[in-house]
Structure 1
Amino acid sequence: MLALLVLSVSGAALVAWLNQRGEAPVSSERPATLDAALVARGAYLARAGNCVGCHTERGGIEYAGGRRVDTPFGALFAPNLTPDAQTGLGRWSPSEFWRALHHGRGRDGRLLYPAFPYPSYTQVTREDSDALWAYLQSLTPVRRANTPHALRFPYNQQAALAVWRALYFRAESFVPDSSRGAEWNRGAYLVRGLGHCVACHAARNVLGASRGEFELGGGLIPMENWYAPSLAAADEASVAAWPKADVVALLQTGVAPQGMATGPMAEVVYRSTQYLSAPDLQAMAGYLQALPQEAADHRPAPAAEATVLRQGEQLYGQHCAKCHGEQGQGVAGIYPPLAGNRAVTLPASVNLIKSVLHGGFAPATAGNPRPFGMPPFAQQLNDAELAALLSYLRQAWGHQAAEVSLLDVQRAR
């Protein structure tokens, strides 16, 4: 019994130490005035991090919080980032804000949930953190009390969060790679840090921690049920073989000759990357093109039944060929080709299903203000018809992807 008690106390002490390592005392001191240049820089960085995307409730005031974030462990609600003294960041100091980004700890000392992507933000520099703080302090204060989280037990306990952090989180600083140029390092900083691309483009274990050999190796976005494809696989979303200008175009406008941004990525382009500077877009594109590549799996999937493929071909002729062409060739700059399109043949078919069910739309951007879109077919086609149509798309024109089952469609619907 004594041994078990000693072991428990030792384990608790280890978890506590792992959660505090590297933390320095924070200062509550606040500057008397806000530097205009620092505020402007912070506004740009907030765009780069797409902070408004999570911290704005649909139809609500920007940065006033309240947006619900569903997770496998319950619901989280984004907090108010406006400088209201009672409900927002009005009393936070730059040092306290930096601790939240770098260490994932709130002003009151409580541990923050990693839905706030501090596992990525930990790489943000202190200088950029101070600029972000200055920008948020310049906003109009909004009195909006934060909505309490609705997590299930034991995930709503600080002790459980402390154990998670002890296992999966360690504060770190971005260290430039001296063997790489300044542009690559800037791209790495934006993609891995403030851009927090790994938050979507990584597989997750049962406790929600990223896993896999490749940091950006793709994964299903929990609860949203969109698949964020691997950025390091040629048969998924690698851009290593693209002209660099096309990668920049996709990030800036949402469209490129090879395809367009849809689903959650369309929101990222709409709210964030379209506003980035040309040098930063070039840097991100260069970093993404230089990612180590995964080996592609070229094994063909079993063919769907001939009756299914015939039905799918008939449905394609009725509903799709007018825009996408008899041979899936599309129309340049208007309707994307389906033949040879990686979005059609991804290992996970959920994105394709959701796009046909709910419609496919690129973001409206300054560079593409009136994008073409595809209407939803959820009311026109039943589940069996959708499964047949999509199985045909995934096995026509030389494609060798797995067929779409009736259950796949029902889950996505």
Structure 2
Amino acid sequence: MTESAIRDDLADRVPRLVARTTQVPDEPDLLALLAVHNPTAWIRRGEGFVGHGEAARLEVAGPDRFAIASRWWSQLTAAAAVRDDIQEPGTGLVAFGSFAFADVPGHSTLVVPEVVVGRRAGRTWVTTVSAEPSLPSTSALGRLRATTPPCPPRGVTFADGALTGAGWSAAVAEAVRRIQAGQLDKVVLARDLLAVAKAPIDLRWPLRRLAERYPVCWTYAVRGLFGATPEMLVRLENGLVTSRVLAGTIRRSDDDAHDLALAASLARSSKDLEEHEYAVRSVAEALAPHCSSINVPESPFVLHLPNVMHLATDLAGVLKDSSTSLELAAALHPSAAVCGTPTSVALQVIGELERMDRGRYAGPVGWIDAAGNGEWGIALRCAQVDDHDPTRLRLFAGCGIVADSIPEAELAEAQAKLVPIRDALSP
């Protein structure tokens, strides 16, 4: 779609918003402010955002989804009347987004909540938003706190999704065969599980559990997609670009001493180091056109999570063009960490072997402000509420497959990655 076609297509979809950001003296527990219905959240170590309601929303699909969303956000912020008493990244107008992994099928969304509570470095603020001619409300934090506590899920049962465990292992074996035949270097295969509850899931329950049990992860919720991702696709703040790349995984034990030995073996594993190298290289190459310099550490470190350990690398660069955080996320997606290498071949293999629509799993999820600052993680360790039946969810997990991958080991890794969401859905 051309730039003019995108502009014309959005002409009737950009409301004029009025927004007000004020600092408040409260130091709230953001998790206590989660909306009862359709919560919006981006939380890590007690900081981040929660959103209530919708002042504006864009639904978009197809290969131009990032370009259309970027143009919509640019037009929306240009037309808005904003009074921002703080003027920091994340204040003023903020949109929360979640994007489909694939060009087709799948849908993507950007949402501007009516109320956003933000907390960072000891400062708390509230942004209220309305569409003209209405004026923003003066929402007190007390009114955002729910009168009822989160309800635990009732009677959740799990079933295989698109493939059984044996069927998915066979898909991994076929991927290994193609890699060993030289058709590609790496592919990331995902599997899904179905969860059915006896009543609609109160998302406040799993979100609190995820945030408390995985504090180093970014706990998120956007339009029914929720989870806790350990992987920061890209952060942009006042010209500084950072990214955390994860690839290479080992399951933890119940013994700390044994886990140290496992971490050492992960750091020496040629299979995992190869997988990690592909992922880091893909991110560095995608960021290079947008950054004047990029710092790439020579060796990864081991990131310890409650259920697994990952090889991790933190990259940093200085922005040299006018790209927004969303545009950088678009340039990075899909990275080798969630797709494979070469990208085009890996996408084809994923389409042939997974037998499912990933939806917004493994796509960018996060936020952007009017200045283009933002944080975009990769939607991992997540579940998607069924659009037509709130008692049904799909859970997702994926593994990077290289020439040395063993199907049984990859299945065990995928099961380990499903643990956070499965546990979060328990009473």
Between Structure 1 and Structure 2, which shows a larger proportion of strand residues? Answer: 2
TM norm. shorter chain > 0.5: no
Between Structure 1 and Structure 2, which shows a larger proportion of helix residues? Answer: 1
**Is the radius of gyration larger for structure 1 or structure 2?**
1
Q: TM-score, normalised by structure 2?
A: 0.25
Higher relative contact order (CA 8 A, sep 6+): 2
